[in-house]
Amino acid sequence: MSGHITEKDIIVDFMKSCTVEVTPGGADKIDSFPTLLREDTTVYVTFLPGSDFADTVRIVKRLRAEGMNPVPHFAARSIPNKVFLQENLKMLQGEVGVEEALLIGGAVDKPVGDFASSMDVMQTGLFEEFGIKRLGLAGHPEGTPDFPASEVSKAIRDKNAYAKQTDMSLYIATQFCFEAQPIIDWDKRIREEDGNELPIHIGIPGLATIKTLIRHAQACGVGNSIRVLTKQAANITKLLSVRMPDKLVRDLAVHLAKNPDCGIKQTHLYPLGGLRKSASWMYAVQDGNFELDEKKGGFKITVDLD
């Protein structure tokens, strides 16, 4: 924290590259993205288990038309075959000019087609063939109920090995978390034990009630984080109060400033159904419209979020 760089500057810098996410269903409820998001905001579009990938493609096209930078999700275990992947990548590249994607394994017990893991999909070489220059891959700071820890470690090693043989820029994108320390510990462990050199984009929860956060955390298998929330939900008033991720962001920003060699490089905001307020909060932080809160360890937004 030397020179003229303040802790506030560090937080602003850390949040400058923050990305956001929408589901096709959530996007359909938004009349106009430019009324909520600034031009060229990077917006990930989910491909949820059991959904139609055509919905993801439709929202990607819409976001591009409305001045955003869309990033489609691909879920390996929900992709029927190589031809399906080929056709969609060709169309996304040709019609939308997509150059970045997120590839996850996908939380389905049985693959619907030929791909059991994200590595299976990457090894087709189709992402490179159809102009994808940046590819996000899943990371799990708190583990995942879908795979044993040994498989998760192997996946990290395999992804790092692949990064050395492709021209694409690979990074790890994580599920949302509520506390900084487990993330910091996980980053340290995968660097030391699995040789991770890929930059990490940490998922942060948007503005939501604790009740909503608990529901999403349970659905996503974010086990350890639920403990943090349930402690705060001792009474019904707290359960319905809106929680902000300010302490998490401040703790991670300060950690990165003190440990520039760590893997944690930027944030990815999960709006959890409330894109308007979550995006307003994100821009308020990016614009420096907040004051540090030494009592609670986070910060307070100083502008109206409505």
Position 107 scores a pLDDT of 73
- For residues 49 and 73, is the Cβ–Cβ distance under 8 A? no
DSSP at 95: I
Range with the lowest mean pLDDT among 24-33, 151-160, 241-250, 282-291? 241-250
The pLDDT confidence band at residue 216, using thresholds 50, 70 and 90, is: low
The Cα 172–Cα 194 span in angstroms is: 13
Asked if residue 56 lies in contact with residue 47, where contact means CB atoms within 8 angstroms, the answer is yes
Average pLDDT over residues 139-148: 76
Place of tokens 């995968």: 190
pLDDT of residue 274: 86
Q: pTM higher than 0.95 for the full model? A: no
Q: Among the residues of 48-111, which ranges form H helices? A: 53-65, 82-91
CA-closest candidate to residue 271, choices 12, 38, 36, 52: 36
Taken in order of first residue, the domains within the chain and their CATH numbers are 7-209+243-301 (3.20.20.220)
Region 94-118: what's the mean pLDDT? 90
What is the amino acid identity at position 1? Answer: M
Structure tokens, 39: 């031009």
pLDDT (0 to 100) of residue 235: 52
The beta strand positions in the chain, using DSSP E, are: 19-22, 42-45, 69-75, 100-104, 134-139, 169-176, 200-205, 208-209, 242-243, 264-270, 290-293, 298-301
C-alpha 233/C-alpha 214 separation (Å) is: 10
Burial class (CB in 10 A: 0-12, 13-18, 19+), 267: buried
pLDDT in tens, 36-82: 999 999 999 999 877 889 999 999 999 999 999 999 999 999 999 99
* Predicted pLDDT of residue 217: 66
pLDDT digits 0-9 by tens, 108-119: 788 899 999 999
Instruction: Please report the pLDDT score of residue 176 as a whole number.
Output: 87
Q: How confident is the model at residue 10 (pLDDT cuts 50, 70, 90)?
A: very high
Mean pLDDT of 80-102: 95
**What value does the mean pLDDT take over residues 167-191?**
94
Cα–Cα distance measured from residue 67 to residue 241, given in angstroms and rounded to the nearest whole number: 34
Task: Give the span between the Cα atoms of 93 and 102, in whole angstroms.
Answer: 14
